[in-house]
Structure 1
Amino acid sequence: MTNSVNRRVRSSQKRQRLTAAAARVLHERGVERTTLADIAREADVPVGNVYYYFKTKDELVQGALSEHSAHLDELTARLERLADPRDRLKALVGAWVEQRDIAARYGCPTGTLAVELDKRADGTLDAEAGAVIRRLLDWAEGQFRELGLSDPGGLSLTLVSGYQGMSLMANALRDPDIMTREGARLLRWLDSLQASDGNL
């Protein structure tokens, strides 16, 4: 019985290594330029093992999206420990700015994947990437609602659009300082919001 449990644990750990590797490699190289062998190498597993867990590259992309979703859950769970919703939103912006060097090199992990997947003629993976972004929007909307601000959905869209825009510009111009400057602008905006307004 113990051997069976150990095998299941090792199998689960190997699958987790592969999904984490897929998330990293797909972010850095893009879907079309990534091979299953690239992901196997990053995860430090034999390439044949990849096919045991994932039959196609699309299944690996789904695994990467699950990884992005899990990271979002971990982040928002940490932010929920803060008592004030405005502080949670500001800490979210801080977490984005901390990733400025990665954003300058590769863009937003989920956003760039969503754009790339949207250009493919087949499948519904672009909708799955959009669903991860939707979860972030919904979480942020909840924070604005808790603050008693009008149009919490619109404010959430403004905030997340600001993040996507600064990630895109930092990546396009290879300038991580864009994340720092625009992050500071978002923080000032969050501080300025009163129950009767919400304009940038």
Structure 2
Amino acid sequence: MTNSENRRVRASQKRQRLTAAAARVLHEQGVERTTLGDIAREADVPLGNVYYYFKTKDELVRAALSEHSAHLNELTGRLEQLSDPRDRLKGLIEAWVGRREVAARYGCPTGTLAVELDKRADGTLDAEAGAVVRQLLDWSGRQFRELGLSDPDDLALTLVSAYQGMSLMANALRDPDVMTREGTRLLRWLDSLRAPDAHR
């Protein structure tokens, strides 16, 4: 590998470290309380490096949203290995419950960011946060559609709304068990859903 290729690889790795750090810190502290210095410390890079890759905090927020989108793609990609769409949806719920401690402490990464961005006066990034939520809705809707269920998009909305609600309640009450109890209820709900012709 040439020196210039090495530099490109190192630069790409540093940018990825900063992006991952931005996703973590913005989730834990929120946009308004987070500084570029916080991101630099979390990524263990000099502050000047942050400015080299990201000129503004908004660029870091955008990078954090892309990180959330990538994590969602990674999770749903793993779930796609399951042959049964009901099992995929159950795997999604189990993944949510598996992060119950984080949810109880900080809420849903994308949901909390979407709410905070919506409150900002400039309103430039809230649609991008909404796009990540839409990504989850679309994937869930496809699973319900594969199951042959009526109103698959409405069922996806019910599922994702339940996740946002249980994340919010777990965070507000600082109680990870909320995620466990509500996750169990969602799994039972999924098992109860049957395609119209299955009743015959």
Give me the TM-score of the superposition, normalised by structure 1.
0.97
Amino acid at match of 2:144: F
1:148 and 1:24 map into 2 onto residues whose CA distance is 38
Counterparts of 1:182-197 in structure 2, within 5 Å, are 182-196=182-196
Corresponding residue of 1:90: 90
Corresponding residue of 1:120: 120
Moved over 3 A (4+): none
2:101 is the alignment partner of 1:101: yes
Corresponding residue of 1:35: 35
Any idea what SS the aligned residue of 1:168 has? helix
118-127 or 58-67, which deviates more: 118-127
Q: 1:98 offset after TM fit, Å?
A: 0.2
Corresponding residue of 2:20: 20
Q: 1:32-67 deviations in whole A, cap 9, x for unaligned?
A: 000000000000000000000000000000000000
2:138 is the alignment partner of 1:131: no
Amino acid at match of 1:104: A
Corresponding residue of 1:160: 160
Q: 1:153 offset after TM fit, Å?
A: 0.2
Amino acid at match of 2:153: G
Gaps of 5+ in 2: none
Q: 1:124 offset after TM fit, Å?
A: 1.9
2:162 and 2:177 map into 1 onto residues whose CA distance is 15
1:112 and 1:123 map into 2 onto residues whose CA distance is 15
Corresponding residue of 2:64: 64
1:123 and 1:93 map into 2 onto residues whose CA distance is 31
115-124 or 34-43, which deviates more: 115-124
Gaps of 5+ in 1: none
Corresponding residue of 1:172: 172
Q: 1:102-150 deviations in whole A, cap 9, x for unaligned?
A: 0000000000000000000104201000000000000000000000000
| Percent of paired sites with the same residue | 84
Q: 1:150-182 deviations in whole A, cap 9, x for unaligned?
A: 000000000000000000000000000000000
Corresponding residue of 1:44: 44
Corresponding residue of 2:146: 146
Corresponding residue of 2:5: 5
1:185 and 1:170 map into 2 onto residues whose CA distance is 15
Amino acid at match of 1:183: G
CA RMSD of aligned residues (A): 1.0
Any idea what SS the aligned residue of 1:97 has? helix
Amino acid at match of 2:55: K
